[in-house]
Amino acid sequence: MLKPYPGRWIDEDTLPGFQQEALDFMHQVQRVSEELMICFARGLHFEDDYFVKAHDVGRTDSQTVCRLLHYFETPRLSNPNGEVFHRAGAHADWDFLTLLFQKAGQSGLEICPGREVSTSFGYGDAWTKVEPDAERNAIGWLCILVHELAQLTHPAVCNVGDQLMAWSDDRFKSTFHRVKAPSDPDDYYGERYSIVFFNQPCKDAKIQGPLKKYPLVTGEEFTKNAMSRNYKALQEKLGGEEGQKPQAADQAPVVSVQS
């Protein structure tokens, strides 16, 4: 049972019925996720409910997250140099399994299939567009039919995350993906909406594959390590960009004002 967190919901007067509709949707997506977890558990020779128990969203230490994403409309501008920018840079999700719901016609998602890429973020490798298609569902960016999805408004793109990759001793590999900003004539320039359901294990879940390729860590430790790694990479990138900027001779020092 998904438990709503107090203070995290839009006021009922502002958007009537939002909380209940959101919870109903999340329950359906959770059921789909659990069906997939059973498949992965069987493939790895775990008990059928092994991953389902580890992702019990009824517990207070559940880390599963649902996000509603909105990308603003982009003006059509001349692009003679063919520059390409991204609304979400190349990355792999650190969760167990991601279910993404997109609106038909609102393209932008691209993937770099496989894990054998030339660099850590797949630069220089082939990227493939994933067009929202109401006739297909995908897992690990491959097509699969899940009967529960028939009850949902839109099909889902299902992506293996880093946690499942570690839990399977790299048998199931997480996929690099990104969201491209529109720049080509046939790109979608309007507002883009998507819903992302990140299946993340409870904080005390023990993550280690059958072959014990990686040291055992808890769900909380895995999340903390991933966030720390991403934050460090961001700081290094920002530091590098700052070092390339010319410094004004009379630049005032940065100070912190505390009350």
- pLDDT tens per residue, range 58-99: 999 999 999 999 999 999 988 888 888 888 888 889 999 999
pLDDT score of 135: 52
Identify which of 188, 65, 75, 71 has the alpha carbon closest to the alpha carbon of residue 132.
Answer: 188
Q: To the nearest whole percent, how much of the chain has pLDDT over 90?
A: 40
Whether 51 has a pLDDT exceeding 90, the answer reads yes
- pLDDT tens per residue, range 192-227: 888 999 999 999 999 999 999 999 999 999 999 999
Q: What is the pTM of this model?
A: 0.79
The residue length of the chain stands at 259
Give SS3 for 35.
Answer: helix
- Tell me the mean pLDDT in the region 10-22: 89
Domains of the chain: 18-224 (2.60.120.330)
pLDDT score of 218: 97
pLDDT band at 145 (very low <50, low <70, confident <90, very high): very low
91 pairs with which residues across the strands?
A: 177
- Tell me the mean pLDDT in the region 93-108: 90
CA angle in degrees (0–180, nearest 5) for 232-176-217: 55
- Tell me the mean pLDDT in the region 123-144: 57
- Phi, psi (rounded to 5 degrees) for 26: -65, -35
pLDDT score of 132: 78
β-strand pairing of 128-129 with 192-199: unpaired
More confident site: 184 or 222: 222
